[in-house]
Structure 1
Amino acid sequence: MTNPQTTLTIDGYVDAIPQPGPGSTVTFDLIHSPHTADDATTGEWDEICAADTPDTPYACTTADPGIAEQLLHDIQPGDLVHVTGTLLQAGTHDTPARIDIATLDVLVASPLGVLSGMTLDRWGAYVAVFDPDRDTVPLFTETGQWVGEAESPDALTTLIDIHERVHGGDA
């Protein structure tokens, strides 16, 4: 059975710190949101896809020395990147598709630096910072604008709803 391949160009967010892979490769996870840069800049995403269209994870790998260097030293979680590569379909429904990256460009650097011991999570145009040493959860827009601090992770959606009502739905 053959593994179908196609060239794919997408924008997405780097989900975790890129890691050295086998040989001279580098691997990272990319989250493609249907509501990211290409759609957000035109303001037409409502016409393109439903608001509840899920994000798509991709397991990415590159053996290109220049891209590997960039991934290991310049890219951080939360960066919005534009990638082109060969899409290799997943072998099972349980694993994400894999992209063998040929080009990578940073569209928007994460407004937050690499956070040791902390994790970032996205809700569309919002970024929450989870710190294991704190109960509260700071929330920013993807451009770095302060939104507020939720008393708990469960209160994040309420904080986002309030922010969107006050700002007319613009993050």
Structure 2
Amino acid sequence: MDTKHCAVDGWAEAIPAPGPHNTATFDLTVRPANADTLPDDAPDTVVSCTSTAAGIVHELLHGIQPGDLLRVTGTLLQPPTPGAPGRLTVDALEVLDTALIPALGEMVLDRYGDYVVIFDADTDTVPVFTAQGQWVGLAANPDTIATLIDIHERVHGGDA
């Protein structure tokens, strides 16, 4: 097998996944430098990436989102068969740009003090979370949000 130490820029395809033995894996989509001269339907190159470095694994599992532009440096293992993705063992990770947060067309997030609610035009029910992301419950309609929050604070001692 042919290996090469290199740096590759590309986009995270999906949320990185935890792997065995404290590793993280993800696919990186790489566009060639001459992408402007290629046909629109030319396939992108996908590189399967893995890291065992604790700091990189933590960042991959907690900070990387689909569409983030990354620069990964490591050892590239050429695929055994043409058309199969290359495998890159990542030694260094740099976030070059973060993906845009998708706009939720008819959904609205709102704050109620230490709580966050999500209004959806398609339904009367309102999901309620603490500002830290803990699930509180599903209010039957906007008029019952305050009651749900009051019950949560009584049960949990006011800690949102």
The answer (yes or no) to whether the contact 1:87–1:99 under 8 Å persists in 2 is yes
**Structure 1 match to 2:81:** 92
Give 2:38's match in structure 1, choosing from 43, 46, 50.
50
CA distance in 2 between counterparts of 1:105 and 1:57 reads 18
Q: Offset of 1:59 from its aligned partner? A: 0.4
Bigger proportion of residues as strand: 2
Q: Offset of 1:34 from its aligned partner? A: 2.1
**Structure 1 match to 2:14:** 16
Give 1:68's match in structure 2, choosing from 49, 52, 57.
57
Q: Offset of 1:95 from its aligned partner? A: 2.4
Give the superposed CA RMSD. 2.1
Asked if 1:110 is matched to 2:108, the reply is no
Q: Which runs of 5+ in 2 are unaligned?
A: 105-160
Give 2:24's match in structure 1, choosing from 23, 26, 40.
26
Identity of aligned residues (%): 45
2:55 aligned counterpart, secondary structure: helix
Q: Offset of 1:54 from its aligned partner? A: 3.5
Q: Offset of 1:21 from its aligned partner? A: 0.8
1:67 aligned counterpart, secondary structure: helix
Please identify the structure whose Cα radius of gyration is greater: 2
CA distance in 2 between counterparts of 1:95 and 1:33 reads 16
Give, as a single letter, the amino acid of the residue that structure 2 aligns with 1:63. Answer: T
**Structure 2 match to 1:146:** none
CA distance in 2 between counterparts of 1:70 and 1:51 reads 35
The answer (yes or no) to whether the contact 1:61–1:100 under 8 Å persists in 2 is yes
CA distance in 1 between counterparts of 2:14 and 2:38 reads 27
The answer (yes or no) to whether the contact 1:20–1:27 under 8 Å persists in 2 is yes
Give 1:77's match in structure 2, choosing from 66, 73, 79.
66
1:93 aligned counterpart, secondary structure: coil
1:77 aligned counterpart, secondary structure: coil
Give the number of equivalent residue pairs: 102
Q: Which runs of 5+ in 1 are unaligned?
A: 40-44, 116-171
CA distance in 1 between counterparts of 2:39 and 2:17 reads 32
So what's the TM-score if we normalise by structure 2? 0.58
Give, as a single letter, the amino acid of the residue that structure 2 aligns with 1:18. Answer: P
Give, as a single letter, the amino acid of the residue that structure 1 aligns with 2:97. Answer: V
The answer (yes or no) to whether the contact 1:34–1:54 under 8 Å persists in 2 is no
